[in-house]
Amino acid sequence: MVLHAWRGYKTYAWGKNELRPVSKRGHTAGIFGRQDMGATIVDALDTLFIMGLNDEFNEGRAWIQYHLDFNQLRSEMSVFETNIRFVGGLLSAYSLTGDPLFRDRALHIARKLLPAFDTPTGIPYALINVANGISKNYAWASGGSSILSEFGTLHLEFVYLSDISGDPVFREKVNRIRDVIRKAERPDGLYPNYMNPKTGKWGQRHTSIGALGDSFYEYLIKSYIQSGGKDEIARDMYLDAITTITNRLVMKSVSGLTYLAESKFNRLEHKMDHLACFSGGMYALGAKNLASHISGNHMDIAEGIAHTCHESYARTPTGLGPESFRFTEGSEARALKSSEKYYILRPEAIESWFYMWRFTKDQKYRDWAWDAILALEKHCRAEAGYSGVQNVYMETPQKDDVQQSFIFAETFKYLYLIFSDDSLLSLDEWVFNTEAHPLPVSGTNAFYRKPQETENQPW
Ligand code: DMJ
């Protein structure tokens, strides 16, 4: 599958951000800006490496060496997406190989993002034009706010950047963000999805473990793990946040399915995004790493979420899960609106099954992953790669003609790891960023490399 997807990209879209696998041409999404930055190459690199696809890895490395140049960028990019895909992808490649090219390119790109953090609070803007540093927020985001899942999903990469470079600036930036978040009073103990970077005030009262909130929570527990258990602030923030979420947003459906609702202006919306399916893995990671601090049944919740997300797949004729699914009296774990029925090759359900497989060794998680592989083959495989589908409830859905870069970084990687030995990227030694790029755990993993002199070069 990986070779099919890679060869299609290489043949028809080499150097573009993504591939259109049906019409066989390049594709770019707004998050990457308008230019060709080879997002698929950078996102795929560590997956190619761990699969031993050395020729393909070397093709990617050569493209990065000669063509990945943020000095050429003239359009706006998403700070968050650039961090999780480009910086995260390059940092994984660096830690896995020790090749300084990847470290230096990651540092170069991360430095280009720093002007976005020049706000009165230190909370970064969402978008930056790296050519001139001009930054802004999305016009649609609550009163000029920045988004929690974006400014809260920088910590793992930035701390590691400081540690391997000896440059404290990255750690300072994310510690400042954390301080602001921590000190802002939370309505009902929940973190709203929006914060104004000028005032430090929360925006609209909307809390979600899906879109707009998700990876902020993920990075709290993972920062604690990455630090080798030293980052107690992250641990305590995670415990505090997850306790409130468990008490207020974890629900049981009429038939007994566990799901996460959203809170909007104090009312619950009984809708779960596909994105929120990652939280099965997060609850499991928390249960394993914080056993003595958690009194509740977080492993049961993890199992329940992984199961519900599987139900959202199993209740469609394609065997693929919808973008969002709802819980009403008459319908459970199904999308109700036509705008929620698409599947864009997302990894989150598979990601949770990966963690549950590692922690429980229950065969059902491998079976579910295998079913997902068959569904991908049947409905998403196109002549030149893999495509999303527009409606998972159709017997023969139309393709959306986009091969998202995260199919390499995440979907393929988690599927491969479910069928691999636990020693391949052991969870005792590695922590995955939100784009599934593995970063080493400090103290226990020798790949947590020491700072070295950065060569004198234009990067
Ligand atoms: C990825 O870019 C990351 O997993 C992010 O956290 C959420 N969205 C996509 C995949 O669905």
DSSP 8-state code for residue 343: B
Coil/strand/helix, residue 202: strand
- To the query of whether residue 362 is one of the catalytic residues in this protein, the response is no
In sequence order, what E strands does 282-409 have?
A: 324-327, 332-334, 381-382, 385-386
pLDDT digit string, tens, across residues 191-228: 999 999 999 999 999 999 999 999 999 999 999 999 99
DSSP 450: P
As a whole number of angstroms, the distance between CA 167 and CA 161 comes to 8
CA dihedral sign, ordered 118, 119, 121, 123: negative
Identify whether 214 is a catalytic site residue. yes
Instruction: Exactly one of 104, 273, 348, 401 is catalytic; name it.
Output: 348
Per-residue confidence at 33, pLDDT binned at 50, 70, 90?
confident
Report, as an integer, the average pLDDT of 281-299: 94
Instruction: For residue 278, give the ligand 1 atom closest to its CA.
Output: 4
Confidence of residue 456 (pLDDT cuts 50, 70, 90): very low
d(CA 442, CA 173): 20
Q: How many CB atoms lie within 10 A of CB 131?
A: 14
In angstroms, the CA 378 to CA 311 distance is 19
Of 120, 257, 270, nearest in space to 201 by CA: 120
User: 83 CA distance to ligand 1 centroid (A)?
Assistant: 12
Closest ligand 1 atom to Cα of 351 = 4
Q: Residue ranges of the alpha helices (H) in 14-154? A: 39-50, 54-67, 79-81, 88-97, 100-113, 148-151
Distance, CA 458 to ligand 1 centroid (Å)? 31
pLDDT the model gives residue 458: 44
Burial of 63 (0-12, 13-18, 19+ CB in 10 A): middle
Query: Do the beta carbons of residue 453 and residue 106 sit within 8 Å?
Result: no
290 contacts: CB under 8 Å, gap ≥ 6: 221, 224, 235, 238, 239
User: For residue 410, which atom of ligand 1 is closest to its CA?
Assistant: 4
Q: Is 46 in the pocket of ligand 1 (CB under 6 A)?
A: no
Contacts of 355 (CB under 8 A, 6+ apart): 280, 281, 284, 285, 302, 427
Express each pLDDT in 346-366 by its tens digit. Answer: 999 999 999 999 999 999 999
pLDDT for 327 beyond 60 = yes
Name the least confident of 34-38, 82-86, 293-297.
Answer: 293-297
Bridging pattern class, strands 194-195 and 262-264? unpaired
- The reply to whether 434 sits in an annotated binding site is yes
pLDDT digits (tens, 9 = 90+) for 37-50: 999 999 999 999 99
Taking only the tens place, the pLDDT of each residue in 52-85 is 999 999 999 999 999 999 999 998 999 999 999 9
Q: Can 348 be counted among the known catalytic residues?
A: yes
Q: What is the pLDDT of residues 100-148, one digit of tens each?
A: 999 999 999 999 999 999 999 999 999 999 999 999 999 999 999 999 9
Substitution site in 215, 350, 406, 433 for ligand 1 pocket (most atoms within 8 Å of beta carbon) = 406
Q: Is 429 a catalytic residue?
A: no
